[in-house]
Amino acid sequence: MSNGVVHVKWYRKESSKNIIVHASSAHPTAVKRAVVRNMIKTAIGVSSGEAERQESLKQASNILRSNGYQARAKRIRTSHATSSTKSRAGKLPLCLPFITDKISNAIRQCLVRAQLDDDVVLVNIPNDNIKRQLVRNRLYDRTCISENCVVCPYGKAGDCAKTGVIYEIECLACHAQYIGETGRPLTWSIVPVDLNAFMCVNARILASLFEIRGDFKKVAFYQQRYEWAKREMKEIHWNETDGIWYDYDLERKTHSNTYYVSNAVPLYAKCYDDEDDIVPRRVLEYLKAAGVMNFTKGLPTSLAMGSEQQWDKENAWPPMIHMVIEGFRTTGEPDLMEVAEKMATSWLTVTYQSFIRTHAMFEKYNVTTLTEEASAGGGGEYEVQTGFGWTNGVILDLLDKYGDKMKSSSNFVSVVLVPIFVLLWHFEWSVVF
């Protein structure tokens, strides 16, 4: 961001830089050419200007070189498509294992000599490799071909809930062996409460939209889905003892009973019956009992403060903060609406103080910082991002709803008007009439 103009360049995460077909692999040359062509095309396409394009091309070229590609990107020839390959639709596929480019070309020449090239197209089946073996085995195999291998959710009891599980996979077809270690629990056996809450609110929103259109058949359909989702949410996720929704562990057949801010998403989604009017108050009591309402710089994602995973770390994510605030605000109960107001004004103040100190709006914030202002969050596979779309969106919405409540501050202008000015200064706004 510079002078109100957004500059965009191509970026590839460090952990993904080598996940491309290597130049020395046994894949057909056409596949390798497509890898290079698509990478260069993407790097150029997402860049906003010439300087960004050059920087993106430089990064793409470096990645290609590290994977054995000698030629510079702009010298890669891409004009090998023939009239035959341009009109593949409608042709019968001749599927054969790929051996070498020489053999594939010989087969194509045979098709031409037999005058079958207008009706038949050669499709090369790539050689088996470790990636294909991993994907196929992990999705479908229920037993390991190596003695020490663990496949979740079919491994030993409890394996999928542990970190540091060592697993070994042998690819017999490609003569390779893969040994890895999980950095976090494998969650294939978890029914996530937040995902189901989003599906629930989607049904409610769709019912409302179709009502506006007058399509009452669709209204009835999605309203039925919404009512069904509420029942399932209560039956599967609601924990009457703790007064909160939890993820459900299919392997252990029990609730996770662990605090995550996502436990409160059904409150935002209104995925509970109106007659259960005590539910929002129980959610508030749960948050208090978990101790997270004592954090003055936002609700932590979880209480696993030592984790390096960004969704476990001491991060406060603006969308989650906004959902909890909206969950309490939309109850219509004065005391719960007061809780929402207090959370909103606190978040506005904290993020503004952070902006004054850092001159940036972050994608996530650290709730345990010892400084007076919130600092950037951390964890994950990349540096914390600035900008930031959802942070600015949350701030603008909270200012719209609670800006007048900030008047009690000793400096209303600096706390309310300056953030609005800064946000508008950083972004170009256009109105189409």
- Where would I find the beta strands (DSSP E) of 72-221? 92-97, 120-125, 166-171, 176-181, 190-191
pLDDT for 186? 45
Predicted confidence (pLDDT) per residue in 259-308, tens digit: 999 999 999 999 998 888 899 999 999 999 999 999 888 899 988 776 66
The backbone torsions φ and ψ at residue 178, rounded to the nearest 5 degrees and listed phi first, read: -125, 125
pLDDT for 90? 78
Cβ neighbors of 141 (< 8 A, separation 6 or more) are: 151
Can you tell me the distance from the alpha carbon of 54 to that of 60, in angstroms, rounded to the nearest whole number? 10
326, pLDDT greater than 90? yes
Tokens describing residue 365:
């914030």
78, pLDDT greater than 50? no
Residues in the chain: 433
For every residue of 60-88, DSSP letters joined together read HHHHHHHTT--S-GGG-------HHHHT-
Q: Which of 183-192, 325-334, 350-359 has the highest mean pLDDT?
A: 325-334
Question: Sorting pLDDT into bands at 50, 70 and 90, what band is 194?
Answer: very high
- In one letter, which amino acid is 326? E
Domain ranges in the chain with CATH number 1.50.10.10: 190-426
The pTM of this model reads 0.58
12, pLDDT greater than 60? yes
Can you tell me the distance from the alpha carbon of 238 to that of 51, in angstroms, rounded to the nearest whole number? 53
Average pLDDT value for the chain: 77
- In one letter, which amino acid is 412? F
Can you tell me the distance from the alpha carbon of 397 to that of 418, in angstroms, rounded to the nearest whole number? 15
- In one letter, which amino acid is 137? N
For every residue of 217-256, DSSP letters joined together read HHHHHHHHHHHHHHHHIIIIIEETTTTEE--EETTTTEE-
373, pLDDT greater than 60? no
60, pLDDT greater than 70? yes
Nearest one of 346, 351, 348, 373 to 363, comparing CA atoms: 351
Nearest one of 230, 207, 203 to 218, comparing CA atoms: 207
pLDDT for 129? 56
Tokens describing residue 2:
């510079």
What CATH number does the domain located at 190-426 have?
A: 1.50.10.10
Instruction: Give the other-Cβ count within 10 Å of 36's Cβ.
Output: 22
Contact 316, 300 (CB under 8 A): yes
Question: Sorting pLDDT into bands at 50, 70 and 90, what band is 4?
Answer: low
Average pLDDT over residues 181-186: 46
In angstroms, how far is CA 226 from the centroid of its own chain? 25
171, pLDDT greater than 50? no
Predicted confidence (pLDDT) per residue in 230-243, tens digit: 999 999 999 999 99
**Lowest-confidence range among 13-22, 246-255, 282-291?**
13-22
pLDDT for 291? 93
Q: Which of 19-33, 162-176, 240-254, 367-381 has the highest mean pLDDT?
A: 240-254
Nearest one of 323, 320, 314, 322 to 291, comparing CA atoms: 314
Q: Which of 20-29, 71-80, 146-155 has the highest mean pLDDT?
A: 20-29
- In one letter, which amino acid is 140? Y
Nearest one of 314, 313, 398, 310 to 351, comparing CA atoms: 398
Q: Is the dihedral of CA 372, 357, 322, 329 positive or negative?
A: positive
Can you tell me the distance from the alpha carbon of 145 to that of 137, in angstroms, rounded to the nearest whole number? 10
Can you tell me the distance from the alpha carbon of 33 to that of 337, in angstroms, rounded to the nearest whole number? 59
Higher pLDDT, residue 4 or 362: 362
Higher pLDDT, residue 204 or 77: 204
